[in-house]
Homo-oligomer: A and B are copies of this chain.
């Protein structure tokens, strides 16, 4: 799992647990009625807002984004250059025994092996790239929607709780307990929104931009291999389209 996300989640939830456990009655913080309203309201409004299929795929994308380690641009360049060298030596068919693990790169190399035309490879990988992109941006949109919905349904739960409380107000001694319970909905909503949904939506955005760049790099590399480009030329070209800090080689001094 992505280290920063994991540390952040553990830290955040741990500190909440610590702060809660300092109180006289930590158990009260688990309040099923409030959870029903807040989590149920978020799910219900998300289902109304987004098509069912999108919600499913968004969560799949999000968990994949956090559970897998994307290759760095350098690793990607190195792998593509190595494939290009092998293709030079053994021909395209020689690539079949060393298919890469990244599914996008594998798909491209397989098409090179199968002798699919250059334009078809380019079209298919571009389409694949954009539909990944589309799924990712939908994922961010869903988490951003949740970040808006969570405090709203927190408020709805608190309002329901307070109406219950005020209506049944016989003896003032019960007001404290009732008020505590009704505030829990707001607390749940705030934690879901600000500790989970909002930061996750932001990180998905970063991840998605990274992945798009990597896929662009792979597409360029696959086409270079298909074109039987010289491996060191290919490396130079791939480097040229990288952000500076990711380059695998830095240009040395040359008398100009």
Contacts and interface: CB of A to CB of B under 8 A. Distances in A.
Given A118-B256, A153-B194, 6 more contacts: A18-B36, A23-B167, A24-B167, A51-B203, A148-B198, A163-B180
Interface stretch (A83-91, A93-101, A123-131, A211-219): A123-131
A116 B256 contact: yes
A192 to B, nearest CB: 11
Contacts of A234: none
Which of the listed residues A22, A48, A184, A250 has the most CB atoms from chain B within 10 Å of its own CB?
A: A48
Given A131-B245, A243-B131, A187 B156 contact: yes
Contacts of A46: 8, 199
Interface of A: 3-5, 7-9, 11-12, 15-16, 18-20, 22-25, 28-29, 33, 36-37, 40-41, 43-52, 55, 111, 114-120, 123-124, 127-128, 130-131, 134, 145, 148-149, 152-153, 155-157, 159-160, 162-169, 175-177, 179-180, 183-184, 186-187, 190-191, 193-196, 198-200, 202-203, 206, 243-245, 250-251, 253-256
What is the count of identical protomers in the complex? 5
25 contacts: A4-B47, A8-B46, A12-B45, A15-B44, A16-B156, A19-B33, A19-B157, A23-B160, A44-B195, A48-B195, A48-B196, A48-B200, A124-B244, A124-B250, A131-B243, A155-B190, A156-B187, A159-B183, A159-B184, A159-B187, A162-B179, A162-B180, A162-B183, A163-B180, A164-B180
